[in-house]
Chains A and B, each alone.
Chain A
Amino acid sequence: MKSYAYRWLDTPVHHMHPLVMTTWAFSIMVLSFVIEDPVMLAALFAATLTLVYWAQIFDRWWGFFKLALFFSIFIVVLNVIFMHQGNTVIFKIPWEVPTMGHFDITLEAFFYSVGMAIRLITMITAFAILTYTVNPDDIFEMLMKVRPLQRTAFLISLAVSYVPALLRDMDNIRISLQTRGYELEDKKLVNRAKKSSAILLPLMMNSLDRSLQKAESMEARAYGTGKSRTCLFGRKLTGFDALLLAASLLPLAAMVLSLLIPVGKYQYYPELEPIRLTTGYAAAVLLLFLAGSAVGYLSLFKRRVDID
C-alpha cells in the first residue's frame, strides 16, 4: 500500500509549471552545496518544508526523510570516527583500534558532519518535492522540445518513473528474504548494512527483467522510428509562470550573492567559529529562508487567480 510515485493533488504547488518546480529544486540543491553555515543550511531546509506543507505531501515526504536521516546518521558516525581534525576533544578512545591506533572524537568533526547531514536532508527534500508534485511526463515533454535532448529526456523520464517500482521491489525482496529465515534485523548497524546487501543482487536482476519487458513494449509501439517526436499536449509558460520562474531562481541568486559578499561561509576547523547573532546575520538568514520559499508563497496567488 506504500506509494512512492507522483500523484496529482489539487494544491497550489501541483498547479505550478514544471519548469518552475524543476528550476526551484535545482536551485535549492546547488545553493545547499555552496552554503557552509549550519544555521543558514537549517534555514534553507525550513524553506523547503514550507513547500512540503503547501503541497500537502508530508506523509509521503516522511518516507524520504527517514531514508535521509538514516544516511545522515551514517555520515555523522563515519565522520566523527575518521575525521580527527579540530582542537576540542569531546571523547578520547581509551583503547587502540586496529589499523587506526588511538584517536580522539572532536566537537568540530561532529558539527561538520551535522552540517553535511542537514545539507543532504535539504537536497533530498527538494528532490522529494519535485518527485511528488511534478508529473514526470511534464518534465519529459518540456525537454522534448529540445530535439537533441529527446532521447536523454525519455531516459530520464523512464528512470524517474522507475524509482517507485524499484522501491516496491526492494520492499518485496526484503520480505521474501525474511520469510525464508534470513534475519535482516540486527542491533549492530554494520551487521545490518552487511545483511541488507543481500537485497542488491535480486533487486538488480528484477530491474533487468523489468527493463527488458519495457524495452520490448517500446519496440512494439514503434519507439525510435527516427522521425521527430511530436507531443499530444504542451503547456505554455504564462506571464505569471515567468514571475514564478524568476522566484524559483532566487536561491541561485542568493548563491551568487553569497560568493560575492561573502555570506554563508563558516569555519569548522581548527575550532568552531562563533556564530554572532547580529542584525545583519539574522537578516541574511531570513532572506535566505524567503528566497527558498518565495515560489511557494507566490504559488498561492496563482491559485487564487486560477480560482477567480
Chain B
Amino acid sequence: MIDIKKLCFTYADSVRPSLEDVNLHVEGSEMVLITGPSGGGKSTLIRCLNGIVPHFYGGTISGSVVVAGLSPFKAGTKEMAEKVGMVFQDPENQILTNSVEREVAFGMEGMGLERSLMAKRVEEVLDTVGIDHLRKRSMEGLSGGEKQKVIIASVLALQPEILVLDEPTSSLDPKGAEEVLHVIRRLNGEFGTTILLIEHRIDRVIPFVDRIIHMDGGSVKFDGTPKSWVDFVAGLDYELPQMLDLGRDLKRRGFIGEIPLTVKEGRQALAPVFREHWSGTVSAADRLREKGRSIVCLDDVWHKYEDGTMGLRGVSLNVRQGEFLAIIGRNASGKSTLASHMNSILKPTKGTVRVEGIDIKNESPARLARTIGYVFQNPNMHLFADRVEEEVAFILNNFGFPEKEVTRRTANILNDFGLSHLKDAYPRDLSGGEKQRVALASVLVAEPKLVILDEPTRGLDSSRKNFLIEYLEQYNARGGTVVLISHDIELISRPCVERVILMSEGAIVADGPRRKILSKSLNFSPQINRLVQPFGQYGVPSDLLVKEEILCGLS
C-alpha cells in the first residue's frame, strides 16, 4: 500500500534536512503508530504521503514514494486526496463550513460529484463514524471530539484507501479523545482501512496498533511490534506510560516474561507475581508539607456567563502557600472558570475572591500578575515578541525591573529551560515543545507566588512532559504554589501533587489528598491503581498510584 525508498526532504527555508534516508513499507489494512520526540520528522513524513510535502510547503526532495500505486510527487495533492485522507491536530482549524452535513460534503462538492451520489456517501460516512445524530447540527455547538469525528467523516467521504492522522486527539479532552480513537479502531478493524497515526499518548493506542515506527532526527530509528518497541526505548530519554514502564522493569527483574500492554493483560501477568512475591512493605508515605498562609481564598463564588450558562456554583476554596494542587473534572465542569477567578480574568457574579487577604474585586489581572502567574493551554497565546529573549523579558519590563535584573533573570531562566541557544530565534518558528518552554519561562521568570497551569501537557511528548513536571517540583520545593488544571490523570498521580480537587457542573464535588481522590475511581484513577484493585487478597493496598510503590513491595 505504501512504499518509501531513500526519502530525503529539506524545507525551502531550512538548511537542515527534515527527513533523511527514510525507507518504509506498509501493507494494506495495517494500523501503524508513528512516534518519537517532537521535531523528529513524523509530521513531515506523513505529509509526503498525499503530496502536501513538497507541493504545498515547497522544498528539496529525493527518493521515491509510492502510495496506492501513485507517486504523490507526480500526482499532486488533489488526485492524492482520493487515495489518502488526512486529519490534522486541531479540529477548529480544519472546519471550512458551518454545518455538519455541509462539512462532510465539502470535498465531494469540490470534485463536482452528483447530488445523489453525495447524499449516499454522506449517509454512509455519518453511520460509519457514528455521528448520524449530529447531521443537522451547527459546527459551532459541537464538542472538540465531535468536531474531529466530523472532520474524519468528511475525509472518508472521498473514499480514501489510507487514513493518516496527525495527533488527532492532542487538542481534545479524554472523553473526546477516546471517542475519536474508537472510530479509528473501528475503521481499521471492521472496514480494513489502512491507518497511520501520530499520537503522543501511547497508553491510549498501543494495545490496538500492529506496528510502531519510532522517528528521531528525520530518520526511522525503530520499526517493529509494540512489545519490542517498549524494550527499544529503554535506552532513550523517553518516558513510557507508568504501566508499560512497570512491565519493562518487572520483565528485566525476571518477574514476568512478556510486557503487558493493557490493564487486563497486566492483571493476568501480575496475579502470580503478587501471590508469590508481595512483601507488604509499601513506601506510600505521602508528602505532607506544613501549610503556609492563604494565597488565594474564594468564598461562595458564583459565576454566570453572558449567555446565561452557570460557570461556578457557590465555590469556596483556600489555596495556601507551598501547596501543589491539581484540579480535575470533565470538560466544561468549571476548572478553567475557577482558575480564571484567582487572578481576576473573570469577576464573580456573587461571592468574594481574596488574594493574600485582599478582595480583588477592583484589581486587574495585570496588577495581580506579580503574585499570580497564568500559563495558558495554547503556547501561541504567550508569543508576541520578535525574539525569545524579548518574550521572556516582557513581563519583567512591564513590572519596571532594572535593566541589569531583567538581563540576569532572563539569562538564568533561559538556561534553566535549555533555551539559551534559541534566545535570538523567532518564538513562533520554534517546535511545539520549545514554544511550551518559552511560554512557561515567560511567566515563571517573574517568580510569582502562585502559578496556574491550564492543561500544560496537552500535545507534549513524554520527555517534555517529564521536564515540565520536574521543573514544577523544584519551583514548589522553593516555596512556590502550583495550581495544575489537567485531564491527564497519570500526570496528576505523581507524588509531587498533594491535593486534588474534582469539579463537576461548576461546583467542587471532592477535595482531598491525591491518594484519596484518585484511588478506586472509575474515571479518575491512573492505570497503576486500576491494575492493583483485584489483589487485596494478597495484601496489596488498593490505593497505590505509581509503579515505584509496586516495585518497592515486591521481594
Contact = CB atoms under 8 A, between A and B. Distances in A.
A165 interface: yes
B443 A180 contact: yes
Given A137-B97, A180-B443, A222 B111 contact: yes
A176 B370 CA distance: 14
Nearest to B137: A8
Contact of B138 (A7, A221, A225): A7
A136 B140 CA distance: 12
A271 interface: no
Interface stretch (B14-22, B184-192, B243-251, B375-383): B375-383
A85 interface: no
A213 B88 CA distance: 9
Contacts of A267: none
A213 B93 contact: yes
B306 interface: yes
Nearest to B304: A1
B381 A158 contact: no
Nearest to B442: A180
B98 A161 contact: yes
B364 A219 contact: no
B232 interface: no
Given A178-B364, A233-B101, A233-B102, A222 B110 contact: yes
A5 B140 contact: yes
B106 interface: yes
Interface in B72-119: 77-78, 81-82, 85-86, 88, 90, 92-99, 101-102, 105-115, 118-119
A279 to B, nearest CB: 44
Contacts of B108: 230, 232
A217 interface: yes
Contacts of B307: 1-3, 59
Given A178-B345, A180-B382, A231 B115 contact: yes
Interface string A118-140: 00000000000000000111001
B523 interface: no
A218 B370 contact: no
B305 interface: yes
Interface stretch (A38-46, A197-205, A251-259): A197-205
Nearest to A215: B56
Contacts of A210: 93
Interface in A102-128: none
B380 A206 contact: yes
A172 interface: yes
A184 B364 CA distance: 9
Given A178-B369, A225-B112, A217 B118 contact: no
B369 A230 contact: no
Interface in B376-396: 376, 378, 380-384, 394-395
A201 to B, nearest CB: 6
B365 interface: yes
B306 A137 contact: no
Contact of A181 (B81, B118, B446): B446
A206 B93 CA distance: 11
Given A137-B98, A227-B111, A176 B382 contact: yes
B52 interface: yes
A179 B364 CA distance: 9
Contacts of A175: 345, 365
A232 B96 contact: no
A83 B195 CA distance: 67
Contact of A201 (B52, B98, B374, B384): B384
A135 B99 contact: yes
Contact of A220 (B85, B105, B305, B443): B85
Contacts of A220: 50, 52, 77, 81, 85-86, 88, 155
A288 B141 CA distance: 38
A222 B78 contact: yes
B78 A224 contact: yes
B380 A229 contact: no
B107 A221 contact: yes
Most buried by A among B365, B374, B378: B365
Contact of A213 (B90, B97, B106, B119): B90
Nearest to A202: B384
Size category of the binding interface on chain A: 35 or more
Contacts of B381: 172-173, 176
B428 interface: yes
A182 B78 contact: no
B94 A213 contact: yes
Contacts of B78: 219, 222-225
B437 to A, nearest CB: 16
A232 B111 contact: no
Given A198-B384, A222-B81, A230 B113 contact: yes
Contacts of B101: 232-233
B367 interface: yes
Nearest to A228: B112
A273 interface: no
B365 A178 contact: yes
Contacts of A30: none
A21 B98 CA distance: 18
Given A181-B370, A220-B50, A220-B81, A230 B118 contact: yes
B376 A183 contact: no
B340 to A, nearest CB: 8
B36 interface: no
A5 B370 CA distance: 35
Given A135-B98, A135-B99, A231 B365 contact: no
Contacts of B55: 219
B133 to A, nearest CB: 16
Contact of B394 (A7, A173, A180, A183): A180
Contacts of A181: 366, 369-370, 395, 398-399, 446
Contacts of B382: 176, 180
Interface string A166-199: 0000001101111111111100000000000010
A180 to B, nearest CB: 4
B537 interface: no
B395 A230 contact: no
Contacts of B98: 5-6, 135-137, 161
Contacts of B398: 180-183
Contacts of B90: 213
B98 to A, nearest CB: 5
Nearest to A209: B380
Contacts of B119: 232
Contacts of B85: 220
B226 interface: no
B343 interface: yes
A125 B85 CA distance: 42
A140 B369 CA distance: 45
19 contacts: A1-B311, A2-B307, A3-B140, A7-B141, A135-B99, A140-B97, A172-B381, A179-B365, A180-B366, A205-B380, A213-B88, A222-B77, A222-B107, A223-B110, A225-B111, A227-B110, A230-B115, A230-B118, A232-B118
Given A161-B95, A213-B88, A232-B101, 6 more contacts: A175-B345, A179-B345, A185-B364, A202-B383, A224-B110, A225-B110
Of all A-B residue pairs in the complex, the 10 with the closest CB atoms, nearest first, are A181-B398, A227-B112, A222-B81, A1-B305, A221-B107, A213-B93, A178-B365, A232-B105, A217-B94, A181-B369
Interface of A: 1-3, 5-8, 59, 135-137, 140, 157-158, 161, 164-165, 172-173, 175-185, 198, 201-202, 205-206, 209-210, 213-225, 227-233
